[in-house]
Chain A
Amino acid sequence: MTAPRAAPARAPLFDWLFILSLIGVAGVLIRIVWFTPYEATQGAAQKIYYIHVPAALSAYLALFVVAVMSIVYLWLRDERSDLLAWSAAEVAFLFTSVVLCTGPLWGKPVWGAWWTWDARLSLTLFLWFLTLAYLVLRGAVEDPAMRARFSAVLGVLAALLVPFIHLSVYLFRTLHPMPIVLKPERPSLPSEMLLTWTLAVFAFLFFCVVLIRARYRLELARQGVGGVTNA
Chain B
Amino acid sequence: MPDTFAYYVAAYVVTGILFAGYVASLAWRARKIVPRAGDREPDLQNLTVGP
Contacts and interface: CB of A to CB of B under 8 A. Distances in A.
Interface of A: 9-10, 13-14, 25, 29, 38, 40-45, 47-48, 51-52, 55, 91, 94, 97-98, 101-102, 105-106, 108-110, 207, 211, 214-215, 218, 221-222, 224, 227-230
Among the interface residues A44, A94, A214, A229, which one has the most CB atoms of the partner chain B within 10 A? A44
Contacts of B30: 13, 218, 221, 228-230
Interface size of B as a range: 20 to 34
20 contacts: A9-B39, A10-B39, A13-B26, A13-B30, A43-B3, A44-B7, A45-B8, A48-B8, A52-B11, A109-B2, A109-B4, A207-B19, A211-B26, A218-B29, A218-B30, A218-B33, A221-B30, A224-B36, A227-B35, A230-B27
A227 B1 contact: no
Interface in B7-51: 7-8, 10-12, 14-15, 18-19, 22-23, 26-27, 29-31, 33, 35-36, 38-39
A51 B27 contact: no
Main secondary structure of the interface of B (DSSP, over half): helix
Main secondary structure of the interface of A (DSSP, over half): helix
Given A44-B7, A222-B33, A38 B26 contact: no
Given A105-B11, A105-B14, A211-B22, A43 B29 contact: no
Contacts of B35: 227
Given A48-B11, A106-B7, A43 B26 contact: no
